[in-house]
Amino acid sequence: MKRSLTVLVALLTISCSGLSKWTFEATTGGTMELTEDGMVMELEDGTKIVSNAGEDLDMPTDFPIPVPWEDAKPQSVTTTTDPDGETFTLLSFVLERPTDEVMAFYDTWLEERGLTDMEAVDEVNMGMRSVVRIGKDTDGETPIMITVSEFFGNDTVNLGYGKGPMNHEFE
């Protein structure tokens, strides 16, 4: 039985409400340690998730998706590493810019990179507009995910890159 949704719900619940590490460990079978800036979780299969949140986070130095706005500081950086050492990094930040402006920048970047066959979504659900681009990098293997969600005039931008697990599924 796949429990990826359970892991996702547990992670969101813990990060949003500050519930104990017991919740994560009970629902996933893994372990979790709280750190000064976030948490380190390890699942039963050896997958490791390091999540940091705060106002003083630095942009990962080797992250290939550009963030050209000076006021864009990551609010969270999460790296998932599978047992083979493949990683997927997701960083999130908030911008006070129009969604269309932000996504136009990323559409141009993707086009200049030669990535024209990305899956594109633009939808409004319960008052929140989400614009998404998902596909593979130029190597044809490495996932790229760009999401801009507009809610009450602020854009939350999520950028994901890497060959590691994007959403971990385990039995």
**C-beta of residue 45 within 8 angstroms of C-beta of residue 83:** yes
Strand order in the sheet with 154-162: 31-34, 38-42, 48-53, 76-81, 87-95, 154-162, 143-151, 128-136, 119-125
**C-beta of residue 131 within 8 angstroms of C-beta of residue 107:** no
Task: Look at 78 and 168; give whichever has higher pLDDT.
Answer: 78
In the predicted model, is pLDDT for residue 33 greater than 80?
Answer: yes
Least confident of 12-16, 51-55, 108-112, 131-135: 12-16
Residue 80, beta-bridge partner list: 49, 88
The domain limits of the chain are 4-162
Q: Once rounded to an integer, what is the mean pLDDT over residues 100-117?
A: 93
pLDDT digits (tens, 9 = 90+) for 2-15: 334 344 444 444 44
**C-beta of residue 92 within 8 angstroms of C-beta of residue 75:** yes
pLDDT at 20: 65
pTM of the entire predicted model: 0.77
pLDDT at 138: 92
